[in-house]
Structure formats: C-alpha cells, structure tokens
Amino acid sequence: MVKDWRPRTRPILRLLLIATICLVASPSLWGQAIEIDVPPSVEQGKRFRVVYAVESEQVQLTRGPELTGLELLYGPVEGYSQSTVITNGRMVQKSYSTYTYTLVALGSGTAKLSPIVLLVDGKEVKSKGVNIKVLPPETAASSDAHFMYQVSTPNRSTYYEQEAIPVSYRFYGSRGYEFYREVKALEFEGFLSLDLRDNQSVTQLVHEQIKGRNYLMAELNKLLLYPQRTGELTIPSHGILFRTPKPPTPSDPFGSLETRQIASQEQKIKVVPLPSEGRPEDFTGAVGQFTLSSQVNTKTPRTGEILAIKLIIEGSGNLKIAQMPRPSFDRAFENYDPEDQYEFQIDGGKLREQRTITYTLIPRKVGEYIIPPIKFSYFDPSSGRYITRSGEGYRIEVAQGKETQQTVISTGTDAASGVSAIALPLDREEGSRVWAGEILLRLMIYPLLYLVLALLGYVVYLLLRRRDAFRADGARYHASRANAVALKRLRRAKQLLDVGSEESFYQELLAALWGYLGDKLQLPLSELNRESIAQILSARGVPEETIAACTEVLDMVEFARFAPGSATDKMQEAYAHATEAIASIEDYKFTL
C-alpha cells in the first residue's frame, strides 16, 4: 500500500514559509544594521571611544555591552546626527541615533565587547561583538626613533619572474604628525605595479608596538609588484614630508609645527627565471594560483548559428598580462577572434582576478562533433611547479539551419559551352526566389566602391596641392596664422602675469603685438614700425580710433617694460588693451 506523503510535508512547507517571511521582514537584516566605530587597536591605560550608530530616530537602548578587559569611564551618551547624500542627482537625508562609550583598556592582549541590543522602531536589533587589540605601555626610553618609514615585504630575498610580490610602505610615529606631501612619486624599474589600497584618499592609523615603543602606523602605499626581468632588482626608497609639533620653548611656549623629511630604505631582491623542467607545451606565462571553469551556450546548434564557449579563469597572480589559451577547433566550425574580458577586485588588501574568454564558433556542416576540454597551464610559485587545469569537453550535435545556395549568372563563355559563370553565394531558405535587381546590385557594388574611392583620393590630392601652394607663399601663410600665433603668445603672457614674472610678461606681450602686426600686414622686420603700420591700416579702411588704440598700447607696453616696479594692475591693464587691439584689427577681413 502506497502511503500519502502530502500530510507530512505540509507542516514543513508551512515552517519554511514562515521562516522566509521572518527573514524578509527582519529589520536587523534589511536596512537596520548597527554600525560600530571602534579603533582596531589601543594602548593599555589610554582612553578611547566606541560609538554605536543606527539609521533611525526611534531608538532605545535595552541592553548595553558586557566588557572584558575594559573599564567604563563614561557613558553611554545618547546622540543624534543627520547626513545628506547625493546619488545620481537625488539628495537623500539620513538620520542617525548614536550611543557613545568612553573606555580604558586594563591589560594587554585582546579586549572584548559583547553585542548590544537596541529597540529600533519597536523591533529588537542586535549588534555584532567587538574584539580590540590592546598593546602594552611603552618601555623604551630612547628618543631617537620617534618616526620611522619602512618597506614591508615577505621574508624572502628570491622571487620568480612574474611572481606577485606584496609591498607595503609604512610610516610609524610615536608623536603627533600630519602628512604634507611626497618628495617624489614612486617609480619601479623592472616591475609592473598594481595599487591594492581600497580607498586611496583615506589612510587609517593603527597602533603597533616596536621594541617597546608604541606607534601610530599609517600604510601609505600597498602594492603588488610583478618583476619583468631576471637578475637583481631594487624596490626603491621613498621619501615623504610630514609636520610634527616642536617641543615648547621659552620663546614659543605653545610650540609650532615643523616640517621634516624621512625616507625608507631601498631593498634588493633576486629574481630567477621560471624553471624549464616540467613546463607544459601550452604554458603561456601565467604565474599565481588559479581555478578554471567553462560554459557553452548550446549543445545543439544549427548551421549558421552562433556557438559560444566561455572559459572563466579566477584567482590571484599576473592574470591580466598573461596570454590566454588559443585552442584549435574542427574545420566544420568557422572560428572568430575570441572576446577577452578582465576584471579585478581588491577586498581587504587582497587581489581577486577574473578573466573571461569567449570563443565564438559558427557550425557550417551538419553532424556530431567532439570539442575537447580547453587546457590552461600556469606556474604556482608557492609550490614551485607547473599546474594544468582543464575545462569541460562538449559533444555538439549540429542540425540543419538555413541552406546556403549558390546562384550562377552567365556572363560569357566557359571552356565547354562558351559560357563563363560568376558564382554568388546567397543565404536563402529552400524554395525562396532571387530578385534580379539584387543580383545586379551585387555585381555593381565593387566597381561603384572603387569609383567612390578614386574620387575621394582625387579630392584629397587637390586639397593637399592647394595647401602646399598656399604654404609656399610665406607671407600669405603667416598672415593667415597671425591670429592663432598671437593668441598662443597671449596665453603664455597670461601665465606669466599670474605668477608675477613682470619682465618676461612684457617681453611676451610685445612679441605677441609686433608678431601679429608683422604677419597680418605682411611686413618684413626691417619695415615694421609704427608709421608703416598706421599707413597700411589706414589704407585698408581701419578707423583712426582703432589705429590710435593700437599704437597707444605699443607705447604703453614699451614704457612699462623699462619702468621697474610696475604694479599688477598696470600689467593687467596692458594685457587687456593688447587683447582688445588684436581683436579689433582681426574684425577687418584683409585680402591675403
């Protein structure tokens, strides 16, 4: 006798439905998480703050944290804040309720705060627990190492070519400091580099103890270096400028900031080539740790349809610059260049890479075909050996799609019957008819294309010949470019004006004025003077007011050039008059 299973499964389905509704409706999982602002490490005996925040105005603390290795000095202090976020042009205001605790660590090791419970909009929300690293108090008395700048690398001196080397530039300070700027940007000779910082604009400070002294550590640069050649390479030194308070003196009881420079030490490493023993024939230069998977869009395509095989490689290494597999496929498939996509993600300072290669095939013959697994070989530096991964193999059954017919048009004689034939491949469904105009169009398209290209080439030849003839007449060519050259010199003069370089400014302004007038009026340098300029401008119909303004600005700039100590206002006035004079003359179209 067969038993009915449905009565037993109904309670299970009901429980699953209730659990799903609770998960969807739970504010602790959807939009009501408690954010915790806490330092990752603190020093024993020094106070610090822990802030709990939740996005809501209706909040009540129902259970505070239990402290392990910590002492409560003050709190909780209830607070309220608002923030405005603009996303895609929309302004969103958020309101937060906060609870702040002021604590002190009692001993070195790990201190703990248990989860707190808040009543948010009538629902209980529980936070995560917190672990804090507590450093012991300082024991060093030396004052020679208040600040250090070090390069952190793996504890090795030999690496393989193309192996990813994690490098971190860390600054340590036992006193207050603020960063000023780099002395020089980092340059890596013989390496390719990848920045691993999640947020390059924010540098988090972390407590660390070195030789009995407590420091605030800032990780200024975190990179992966890929050596591109063998031999001895250098991880370069890096210099920075920072500001730190001076000790108070009788003349300066409050102290002031002094700017100091510090540099890290360079490091030498040895790079060895990849071993030749055990190297697979299909190895293409990938170094790291990777996994491989493959997908296919269909196993039963028709002729003329697209068959796409996707190869997905994931891991960490030099995946971006390594060459990808180029498998060979059966001749029954038309093969196109593969599509290659690379993506990477940096999570917690670690690199995760993914490269997706899509091989596009078009089957041309009906039948059953076997596509063997695509292989990918790489070198694993951690094990010192080559590893080969394989995707899946596929059995492809190709069915008949649209038939490809060949239309033969007689245009002359062949060897047997006196008729020569032109074969035109036309993709047609069986039984369809070919339009005669379409055949004529296919016959004429190539001659028409050659004719259009020949006409375009002739037009380009005429334009180039006209340009060369115009440039051969030097006076006309310079006259046509007078305004462009003058504007370039005026921009240079404006830059000199902004930086206050008086002598260079007036020299550049005079060069712009005299150069423009000489080129525009086609005057040689020997005839370039105020009288000849006024005479030619008057003969070409330029008003006397414009001519007078032009000569006045020349006199103004000449006088200011040899009058030291000119004010900035005078320089700006001269620049404005020169610009107006050139613009007013440019309004008159001279025949070149």
What pLDDT digit, counting tens, does each position of 491-502 carry?
A: 888 888 788 777
Cα–Cα distance, 245 to 300 (Å, whole number)? 75
Q: Is the dihedral of CA 421, 422, 423, 429 positive or negative?
A: negative
Cα–Cα distance, 317 to 229 (Å, whole number)? 16
Q: Tell whether the model's pLDDT for residue 202 goes beyond 80.
A: no
**Pick from 55, 70, 53, 60: which is nearest to 127 by CA?**
53
> How far from 117 is each of 22, 66, 75, 132, 339, CA to CA, in Å?
18, 11, 16, 20, 52
Mean pLDDT of 415-441: 46
CA angle 297, 300, 301 (to 5 degrees): 75
pLDDT of residue 431: 42
Mean pLDDT of 88-108: 81
Any idea which residue has 């605030």 for tokens? 216
pLDDT band at 403 (very low <50, low <70, confident <90, very high): low
What pLDDT digit, counting tens, does each position of 479-488 carry?
A: 566 677 778 8
Cα–Cα distance, 416 to 401 (Å, whole number)? 35
More confident residue, 15 or 323: 323
Query: DSSP labels for 305-343?
Result: S-EEEEEEEEEEESTTTSPPP-----TTEEE-PPEEEEE
Helix (H, G, I), strand (E, B) or coil at 560: helix
pLDDT of residue 148: 82
CB 38 within 8 A of CB 98: no
Report strand pairing: 350-363 vs 367-371. unpaired
Walk me through the domains of the chain, giving residue ranges and CATH numbers.
Answer: 35-135 (2.60.40.10), 147-272 (2.60.40), 288-398 (2.60.40), 404-434 (no CATH), 476-586 (1.20.120)
> How far from 189 is each of 229, 232, 379, CA to CA, in Å?
10, 11, 24
CB 195 within 8 A of CB 119: no
Run of H or E residues at 400:
none
Q: Tell whether the model's pLDDT for residue 101 goes beyond 70.
A: yes
Burial pattern 468-494, b for ≥16 Cβ within 10 A else e, equals eeeeeeeeeebbeebbebbbebbebbe
* SS3 readout for 467-500: HHHHHHCHHHHHHHCHHHHHHHHHHHHHHHHHHC
Q: How far apart are the first and last CA of the chain?
A: 110
Mean pLDDT of 26-47: 71
* Candidate from 28-32, 79-83, 110-114, 226-230 with smallest mean pLDDT: 28-32
Cα–Cα distance, 106 to 84 (Å, whole number)? 39
Q: Tell whether the model's pLDDT for residue 352 goes beyond 60.
A: yes
Cα–Cα distance, 136 to 430 (Å, whole number)? 87
Run of H or E residues at 377:
strand 375-380
Q: Tell whether the model's pLDDT for residue 474 goes beyond 80.
A: no
What pLDDT digit, counting tens, does each position of 321-330 carry?
A: 888 888 888 8
Cα–Cα distance, 174 to 205 (Å, whole number)? 12
What pLDDT digit, counting tens, does each position of 133-176 carry?
A: 888 876 554 445 688 888 888 888 899 999 999 998 988 888 77
Average pLDDT along the chain: 78
What pLDDT digit, counting tens, does each position of 363-379 carry?
A: 999 999 999 999 999 99
**Pick from 265, 135, 109, 138: which is nearest to 211 by CA?**
138
Residue 453 sits at φ, ψ, to 5 deg, of: -65, -40
Cα–Cα distance, 335 to 235 (Å, whole number)? 44
Q: Tell whether the model's pLDDT for residue 409 goes beyond 50.
A: no
Percent share of the chain, pLDDT over 90: 20
pLDDT of residue 30: 41
**Per-residue tokens: 494:** 């404006």
Helix, strand, coil shares of the chain, percent, nearest 5, are 25, 40, 35
CB 271 within 8 A of CB 233: yes
**Per-residue tokens: 20:** 């799903």
Mean pLDDT of 437-466: 77
Cα–Cα distance, 316 to 164 (Å, whole number)? 9
**Per-residue tokens: 519:** 């080129």
| Residues ≥6 apart with Cβ < 8 Å to 219 | 168, 169, 170, 197, 203, 204, 206
